[in-house]
Amino acid sequence: MPRIAGVDIPDNKKIRYALRYIYGIGPKFADAILTETGVDPDKRAKDLTDQETTSIAQVIDATYIVEGALRRQVQQNIQRLREIRSYRGDRHRRGLPVHGQRTRCNARTRKGRKKTVAGKKGVKG
């Protein structure tokens, strides 16, 4: 299993898809890296030469923030929003959607499992 930027990438996938297993590299960056290094995007990860692997790793290290450093940066940004008591920071703190999505229905991923609230039993009046 080739190891690039401290991450094991899958052997049998084409390198353009295998690179996406690195946190911070998506389709656009994967294609840009392969174009810059001159590696064939349709080549399987297990078929890469050591020279190709090192050239990909060098481009990633020199150009992109990936894995631990990127995760740390994202957490610092969220922490900064919390500390300055911004609206977005408050939404992060409460575990609610941050980007203006509705919460009346849906939003279960952010809110967690349903918490049943006792409502009024059929009031006759």
Residue 120: pLDDT band with limits 50, 70, 90: confident
Q: What class has domain 3-63?
A: mainly alpha
Whether pLDDT at 118 is above 90: no
Residue 6: pLDDT band with limits 50, 70, 90: confident
Asked if 39 and 31 touch (Cβ cutoff 8 Å), the reply is no
Domain 68-111 CATH assignment equals 4.10.910.10: yes
Q: Quick one: what percent of the chain has pLDDT higher than 70?
A: 97
Residue 15 neighbours by CB distance under 10 Å:
28
pLDDT of residue 122: 67
- Higher pLDDT among residues 118 and 52, named by residue: 52
Q: 68-79 burial, b if ≥16 CB within 10 A, otherwise e?
A: eeeeeeeeeeee
Mean pLDDT of all residues in the chain?
A: 91
pTM: 0.79
Per-domain boundaries in the chain:
3-63, 68-111
What's the pLDDT tens digit per position in 56-114? Answer: 999 999 999 999 999 999 999 999 999 999 999 999 999 999 999 999 988 999 999 98
